[in-house]
Amino acid sequence: MKLLFNTSIFWGIIIILFGVNILLRTIFNINIPFSRILIGILIILFGISFILGSKPTTKNNSSVFNSAKFDTTDIKNNYKTIFGNSIIDLSELSDTNEINKTIKIKNVFSSTIIYVSPELNLNIKGSSAFGMISFPDLNNIYFGSTSKIIDKNSSDILSIDIDNVFGRVSILYK
C-alpha cells in the first residue's frame, strides 16, 4: 500500500484517467464523475493504510500518528509532526552554536507547540495553508506566509522556519 503512494506511477495513472475522462466527455458526451470517484478511492485507500500498517512512530525528530516531546538535549535542524501532537522545547538553549542556526518545522494535520526563551532574538518565517501559526507577539497567520523578527537586544538569533498545513503551530515564551 505504501509503495503505491510513494511512486510516480500512482499519480501518472490519475493524470491519464483524468485525460481519458475529458476525452470521453468531449467526444462521446459521456459524463463520468471522475473527481468524486477519485476522492472516494483515495479515502478508501487511506483507511486501508490506517488498518494495515500505520503504526504510530516517533523517531529522532519526527512524530507520525503519535504525540512526542522534543527537548534541548539534542537539537535537530528539522522537526516533522504528521497526524499527531508535538512539543518542541527550545527555551533552554544556551550554546551559541545551537542558537545561531535555522530550525525547520513541518506540521501536517497536527498540533505543535514550540517553547522559546523570552531573552532570545527570533527570526520566524511561517507559511500556513488552512491552518494557524500563533506567534509570541500574539499575532496569528491562517493562510499565506509571513516573516517576523523579534529583537531582544541580544547577539544570538534563533531562526525558525515553519511550514504548516491543516494544523496549528503555537510559539510560546517559557
Domain boundaries, the chain: 2-53, 57-173
Q: What is the DSSP letter of 118?
A: T
Work out the number of other CB atoms within 10 angstroms of the CB of residue 77.
10
Q: What pLDDT, on the 0 to 100 scale, is given for residue 111?
A: 92
Q: What pLDDT, on the 0 to 100 scale, is given for residue 19?
A: 87
Q: How far does CA 163 lie from the centroid of its chain?
A: 5
CA 28 – CA 80 distance, rounded (Å)? 47
CA 151 – CA 157 distance, rounded (Å)? 9
Q: What pLDDT, on the 0 to 100 scale, is given for residue 70?
A: 83
Is the distance from CB of 90 to CB of 75 less than 8 angstroms? yes
CA 169 – CA 88 distance, rounded (Å)? 11
Q: What is the DSSP letter of 4?
A: H
Report the predicted TM-score, pTM, of the whole model to 2 decimal places.
Answer: 0.66
Considering Cα of 67, then 80, then 88, then 145, what sign does the dihedral take?
negative
Q: How far does CA 134 lie from the centroid of its chain?
A: 15
CA-to-CA separations, 157 to 56, 96, 151, in angstroms, rounded: 34, 9, 9
Q: What pLDDT, on the 0 to 100 scale, is given for residue 133?
A: 94
| pLDDT averaged per 10 residues in sequence order, the chain, 174 residues | 53 81 88 82 74 61 81 77 88 69 90 88 90 89 87 78 93 89
